[in-house]
Structure 1
């Protein structure tokens, strides 16, 4: 069977298999996906886990037919996984030394024109690629979980140099747009990228409000779910506050309640995870335990059914807001 594109997934965790399902559901290309992971139970794990992601595909895809047609291949080594790949997408452990060694091995074994993507949550491409001969080939392609459903992807060239990686960036954008995704190219490498920084800023203030006894963790979730959550799913914060200013737009909004905004910023929480001094008892230990206990009591251990319900509702919401 001939394929339009050969794509290798290196690392088969939640993100890796979610991406594999997305690639296999490409509406206009015959994509062969090869998965490599050193875990000894890889085939059994894929057979158990991947169907859950494939069930979200708009086209019914059977795992057995993917294997029999060689659209899905399990590689026995890193070299065999990437040796004929058009794209290599990595989801390995978030450790700098590991990724640096891995990318030098991939570069040595993969074709010279293959695209290199890392789904890292925060390690810049310029750091990951320091042992590569041509580090400009490596791009961060940072998803928002779960990537087989969420539309946004953050493309981050090494050093934020989109011009130096122009061809790789252009080919990457073309591919993701053909899958109906909306990639954003960041102009600068920055810790956590954009989506994480925004969500972690909200998380920090949420923790502060719970620690101060203003509100419970469960109530914070309800406030977000029933206020800015649905509003920002339709339009983002700048559009929303621009609309909130009426005829004056964002300028009018800032003029009207700028004092309140500044007062909230001045009073914002300054919680600290306390990970910078491993030799001492973390000052955050008590609040972390208390908060985690509160969340455990509210929600218990989440099941596959809970995650499936979240994914189904997220997909339904995106279908409505992106029409």
Structure 2
């Protein structure tokens, strides 16, 4: 059976997970449920095993593995395959992509297999330097600003197209409107999570019905589902990184009822908040 991975199971409450990886032989096959993963190969050779076939990898390749992609990584020979691995949640990446109004991320999502990009030597050096900088910060705690700096370096190198201009020229754009992207970017703040959907309506400056239609069209969820998802993501981060009680964490994230919080958390993560916390503590390696 293929292992199914969720972002918070590995992020330990941080906005990203970063590792310098060496694969010799074949890694465990797994499915990404809710996160993206950048693989920046700097040495060796190998491949990805995908449902659509084999994708060869060699030094200089940069791969974006997306939510829904199922893969295993193969390292060939004695040296294997060496790469930086940077994982981040789908929600935060899509918010960044929407705010920057770049067309390339939409194309990457629509590609039939994980996009494999081969930047020129200067571009590769920039991507690897950004990976290394993020990896140095990771043991002591990366911030969202660190992740945004990484994304900026990544897209500056790998997105050859100009940002889509505002106004009528952008009518072909498939991403959400600016007001929706801005509201979604603001919602993860704790005070906004507690205020819930009414705060999202205030931030969007549109009617509740218009917000609901637009959110369903661009993100496939209702405003309530979107806010609950953000609340649970924040709760998982707090369970991983603090010793606050489950009740206190639920209240911080906007759940007035503890029983409702526990039910929602169980549906999302398949376990109780307490069991999730114990599992995260066992995974933490100083």
| Structure index of larger Rg | 1
Smaller-chain TM-score range?
under 0.3
Q: Output the TM-score relative to the length of structure 2.
A: 0.27
Instruction: Identify the structure with bigger relative contact order (alpha carbons < 8 Å, sequence gap 6+).
Output: 2
Q: Output the TM-score relative to the length of structure 1.
A: 0.25
